[in-house]
Amino acid sequence: MIREKCFNSVIKLTSILFVSLMLMVPLILFIYSIPLLNINGIATLLFSNWSPSSGKFGLSTFIQTTIITGIGSTIISSVIAFSLSYIIFFHKENKTGKTLNNFITAMAGVPTIVYSIAGMFFLVPFIAKYSPSPTGLCLLTVILVLSFVILPTITILINQALNNIPSSEINAALSLGAKKHQLFFKVMIPETIKSIAAAIVIGFGRATGDTLVALVLSGNALSKPSSLFSSSRNLTSHIAMLIPGEFDSVQYKTIFVSAGILLVITLVLSVIAYQLEKNRC
Partner 1 sequence: MKQMLTLVIALLLIGCGAQKKELKIAGGTAHIGVMEKVAEKIMAKNPSLKISVAGGGSGVGIKQVGEGIVDIGNSGRDLKPTEIEKYGLIPYKIAIDAIGVIVHPESKVSNLTLAQVQDIYAGKVINWNEVGGEDAPITVYTRDPESGTRATFWKLALKKGEITEKALFVKSNGDMKVNIARDKNAIGFMSVGNTDSSVKTLAIDSIAPETKNIQDGSYSIQRFLYSVTKGEPKGHVKTFIDALLSSEGQAIVKEKNFIPVK
3-state secondary structure 238-253: HHHHHCCCCCCCHHHH
Among 15, 42, 47, 125, interactor with partner 1 by CB under 8 A: 125
| 59 in Cβ contact with 254 (< 8 Å) | yes
- Residue 243's SS3 state is coil
Binding-site string for partner 1 from residue 7 to residue 46, where x marks contact by CB under 8 A and - marks none: ----------------------------------------
Minimum gap (Å) between residue 130 Cβ and partner 1:
14
- Residue 135's SS3 state is coil
Closer residue to partner 1, CB minimum distance, 55 or 245: 245
* 254 touches partner 1 (CB under 8 A): no
Closer residue to partner 1, CB minimum distance, 199 or 214: 214
| 202 in Cβ contact with 273 (< 8 Å) | yes
Q: Which stretch binds partner 1 (CB under 8 A): 2-10, 18-26, 105-113, 133-141?
A: 133-141
Q: How far is CA 127 from the centre of its chain?
A: 23
Neighbours of 193 (CB within 10 A): 13
* 55 touches partner 1 (CB under 8 A): no
* 135 touches partner 1 (CB under 8 A): yes
* 222 touches partner 1 (CB under 8 A): yes
Minimum gap (Å) between residue 101 Cβ and partner 1:
37
* 117 touches partner 1 (CB under 8 A): no
> Residue 138's closest CA among 119, 160, 112, 113?
119
Q: Which stretch binds partner 1 (CB under 8 A): 8-16, 25-33, 110-118, 131-139?
A: 131-139
How many residues bind to partner 1 according to rule CB under 8 A?
21
Neighbours of 76 (CB within 10 A): 17
Closer residue to partner 1, CB minimum distance, 164 or 223: 223
Please spell the DSSP secondary structure of 65-84, one letter per residue.
HHHHHHHHHHHHHHHHHHHH
Q: How far is CA 81 from the centre of its chain?
A: 15
| 235 in Cβ contact with 63 (< 8 Å) | yes
Minimum gap (Å) between residue 32 Cβ and partner 1:
17
Number of Cα atoms under 13 Å in the Cβ half of residue 7: 4
Closer residue to partner 1, CB minimum distance, 100 or 221: 221
* 268 touches partner 1 (CB under 8 A): no
Judged by the rule CB under 8 A, the positions of this chain that interact with partner 1 are 53, 124-125, 128, 134-135, 137, 219-223, 230-231, 233, 241-242, 244-246, 251
